[in-house]
Amino acid sequence: MKVPFTTQTHQSPNAKVRTTSFNEPKSVLDLVRCSSPSPAVNKPTPKSEVSALSESLFQSDDGSLHSEDQILNNLEDWDSLMRELGLHDDSARIPQFNHLDSQLLPEFPPSHSVVPTDFSLSSDQFHNHNFNSVALCNDFHHMNNDDFHFVDDLIRAADCFESNELQLAGVILERLNHQLPSPTGKALQRAAFYFKEALLSLLTGSTRSTRSSEVVQAIKAYKNFANVSPIIMFSTFTANQAILEAVDGSMLIHVVDFDIGFGGQWASFMREVADRAESRRVNSPSLRITAVVPEEYGIESRLIRDNLNQFACDLKIGFEIEFVLVQTFEFLSFKAIRFINGEKTAVLLSPSIFQRIGAGFLNDLRQISPHVVVLVDAEGMNDSGTPSFRRSVIDGLEFYSTVMESLEAASVGGGDDWIRRIEIFLLRPKIFAAVEAARRRAPSWREAFAAAGLRAVVLSQFADFQAECLLSEVQVRGFDVAKRQAEMVLCWQQRALVATSAWRC
């Protein structure tokens, strides 16, 4: 699982005021950019909750881990922030909204027996949203009746997005703000919180770009994650093995990586390549990586380049890394990437690229004749078809609460601080990206692969043994590896977490 792309819209320096006016439906459709009407320099301006979270959490950063108290204090700030957003401050809200709000609220009683007449449910297989929430909640047998509410509301909010009733969505989300004020409680609740945040950000269009302090925190969280959970190692090592087998023997290896994360995968790849060359007493091949990255990946890209260069230098293998922007790739497809004759090419994909730019580029794959195309699906992409927004939210909720549960199982008691950090810095961005992609009805990669004529390659026995070995090392019980057709799937309590597969054109 890699650190994902953060959401794209750039926030101008003055961006602290959120001016959403729900009583004017048309205006809600516009993504609210941060135009502060006056340079309200002195008074603490109501910040958008996304940037507020980042500020409250990251400002006091000195490169070392927060104490648990600090994190909790920051989480308590949620309350005040939420109140700020929920209530009406003078500048942002127009009094009319009050009237509207009170009109609508009584129509959503907790027993959800009343369905407003203008509320159109999506044409999904679940026609009764009551049934839907029960079905979801039955998966989590530890839940009691009280927990149903926020899931239900979340689904309802998702429905509103689908039917473009953004005003209604806003109202529901506001209610959810009170039910889910902070990422605490059980895994499902925390996941629901982040999904609520993601839905809210759809409305407000707010985002934040990464800053160095955040990158440090994210790397730290990633490192912890890799240490306690087999998810990362399973993904990277299975993919590496598939690539190694395909390009073995070549002196020039070129990898196109669409989800490079922090680059840790290539360090172990290089190590493997160097060791093989040494044992065969031949010269080490040279490795070239082209990483397709989002625009706001500047800091990470620099760090990755420096560190991978250093690593390669230490191992004495030829190395080069290039970064290509996603936007460029979107326009030019594989023409945006340099290919050299005589190289063996491997392509490493993850659903995030399909989420961003669709799957059209797969048709161009044949032209670059890769020796292998490896796909690591750590987003919980279920089977075929482009699901409805509601379906995506439900599936996503289930998937990420599974991930969080699997993390919790590794907790040895004492601070759960590190879990929260992993959730905030690694999972949260993915949830945001997933919600956004679902909104855009991004295609399912399986269908796209089938349409592009890719054929699955069975993974080798080495990969099998490696996965078994990995799991035996992991302290946590509950993980297992299953083989689904040509995929290797890491599961937590029989629920799929990561599916890795190798393909050929």
Partner 1 sequence: MFSAIGSGVGVHGDFQGLDGPHLAGDPCLVLTTDPKPRLRWTAELHERFVDAVTQLGGPDKATPKTIMRTMAVKGLTLYHLKSHLQKYRLGKQSCKDLPDNSKDASCLAESQDTDSSASSSSKIAQDLNDGYHVTEALRVQMEVQRRLHDQLEVQRRLQLRIEAQGKYLQSILEKACKVLNDQAAATAGLEAAREELSELAIKASNDSNGLVPVDALKVPSISELAVSLENKNPSNLPARFGDCSIDSCLTSNGSLVSPMGVASQAAAMKKRPRPLFGNGDSVPLEWMITNSG
Residues in touch with partner 1 (CB under 8 A)? 10-11, 13-16, 39, 41-44, 51, 55, 59-63, 208-213, 215-216, 219-220, 222-223, 226-227, 233, 236-237, 240, 262-265, 267-268, 270-272, 275, 298-299, 302-304, 306-308, 310-311, 461-462, 465-466, 469-470, 473
Question: In the beta sheet, which residues pair with residue 345?
Answer: 254
Nearest partner of 377 among 356, 349, 401, judged by Cα: 349
* Choice between 16 and 93, CB closer to partner 1: 16
Shortest gap between Cβ of 115 and partner 1 (angstroms)? 42
Shortest gap between Cβ of 46 and partner 1 (angstroms)? 12
Q: How many other CB atoms are there within 10 angstroms of residue 466's CB atom?
A: 20
Shortest gap between Cβ of 237 and partner 1 (angstroms)? 6
Shortest gap between Cβ of 48 and partner 1 (angstroms)? 12
* Choice between 272 and 416, CB closer to partner 1: 272
Question: Contact, 224 vs 421, CB < 8 A?
Answer: yes
* Choice between 211 and 484, CB closer to partner 1: 211
* Choice between 150 and 234, CB closer to partner 1: 234
Q: How many other CB atoms are there within 10 angstroms of residue 65's CB atom?
A: 16
Shortest gap between Cβ of 204 and partner 1 (angstroms)? 16
Token representation of residue 438: 């679902």
Cα(7)–Cα(294) distance, integer angstroms: 9
Shortest gap between Cβ of 105 and partner 1 (angstroms)? 33
Token representation of residue 307: 């560190």
* Choice between 187 and 312, CB closer to partner 1: 312
Residue appearing with tokens 């502060």:
36
**Positive or negative: CA dihedral 331, 333, 334, 335:** negative
> Which 3 state secondary structure label does DSSP give 482?
strand
Question: How far is C-alpha 287 from the geometric centre of its chain's CA atoms?
Answer: 28
Helix and strand numbers (H, E) in the chain are 20, 9
* Choice between 221 and 347, CB closer to partner 1: 221
Cα(340)–Cα(335) distance, integer angstroms: 12
Question: Contact, 494 vs 481, CB < 8 A?
Answer: no
Shortest gap between Cβ of 459 and partner 1 (angstroms)? 13
* Choice between 268 and 286, CB closer to partner 1: 268
* Choice between 112 and 220, CB closer to partner 1: 220
Shortest gap between Cβ of 211 and partner 1 (angstroms)? 5
Nearest partner of 377 among 249, 238, 198, judged by Cα: 238
